[in-house]
Structure 1
């Protein structure tokens, strides 16, 4: 498949996703009956992001064709490499597992720590990039992964709760 065709397909998918996000934000409660202004509506930011995602998707899908866009080398190098396909599939499975399995079932810090720990382990030990020069010992990767997972989960929780005043599950 050519880059141009992939751009059109990707642009259409992003535009459709943006429309769904904007629509979902539009139907959210606005709390006007409680005296809230339109800038305090919970759907304002997601709505704006949905509109901009739609615009960017349309720009990608409808841009004018360039004769050089019929090249397939870039996508063949990305999608044609079995290692890249495995890494992409692993990222998809881990992310969906976090969103559908962990998030909401466990408190935020343990769920996010587990996700980050597994993500680091999978990509550092099980599916390392093909151009690795020297690999760290497994115990060192596990230790660093645990520290990063716990620290970033706690920091993200603090940031959302204290700065954005959003209670996480």
Structure 2
């Protein structure tokens, strides 16, 4: 697991650095904004936080080799099925990620593309609720009724926070 943390950490660190560099190209002072009202401030802060999360993963993968062992010792393991799947895949001669992560990434990308296509054609709250509900259902996060409730509540909450509180126009 440490190798996955290291790789993920590098990806997050580089993504955060790229986003930070991009935020520097947004208006800062030349358009009359104060530094705290500049459009580039929030993306810069989020980029730094993302990079710090990546850095934390890299450090943990190098310094805390027993991190996952301590987690499994402290709590009962609910991942026995995944361990069995990994062993079965290794016996077949192919890595376990080919059985699980690749299809999950394709499904997630497909859901994101479908959501993008829905935006503007379907009301925002309905598209967002459908996206969140589908994500929860496909990745087995909850049952149908609970997924619908979570998707609807999250959609309304997102709309309320951004549209009513921050006055951000949503598609």
Common fold by TM > 0.5: yes
Q: In the alignment, does 2:5 pair up with 1:7?
A: yes
TM-score computed with the length of structure 1 as normaliser = 0.64
**1:49-87 CA-partner distances (Å, limit 9, x unpaired):** 11122233234324544554798x98x739837996488
The answer as to whether partners of 1:31 and 1:41 remain within 8 angstroms in 2 is yes
Q: 1:61 aligns with which of 54, 58, 63?
A: 58
1:154 matched residue in structure 2: 156
Q: In the alignment, does 2:132 pair up with 1:119?
A: no
Q: Determine the C-alpha separation between the residues in 2 that align with 1:17 and 1:79.
A: 31
Q: 1:77 aligns with which of 83, 91, 94?
A: 83
Q: Structure 1 residues 68 and 154, CA, compared in 2 at 3 Å: closer, same or farther? A: closer
The answer as to whether partners of 1:78 and 1:84 remain within 8 angstroms in 2 is no
2:76 matched residue in structure 1: none
Q: Determine the C-alpha separation between the residues in 1 that align with 2:152 and 2:68.
A: 46
Q: What SS does the aligned partner of 2:133 have?
A: helix
TM-score computed with the length of structure 2 as normaliser = 0.63
Kindly state the Cα deviation for residue 17 of structure 1 after the two structures are TM-superposed: 0.8
Q: What are structure 1's unaligned runs of at least 5 residues?
A: 130-135
Q: Determine the C-alpha separation between the residues in 1 that align with 2:36 and 2:24.
A: 13
Count of matched residue pairs: 150
Q: Determine the C-alpha separation between the residues in 1 that align with 2:29 and 2:169.
A: 18
Q: Determine the C-alpha separation between the residues in 1 that align with 2:155 and 2:16.
A: 28
2:89 matched residue in structure 1: none
The two structures, once aligned, show a CA RMSD in angstroms of 3.9
The answer as to whether partners of 1:79 and 1:85 remain within 8 angstroms in 2 is no
Q: 1:92 aligns with which of 108, 121, 144?
A: 108
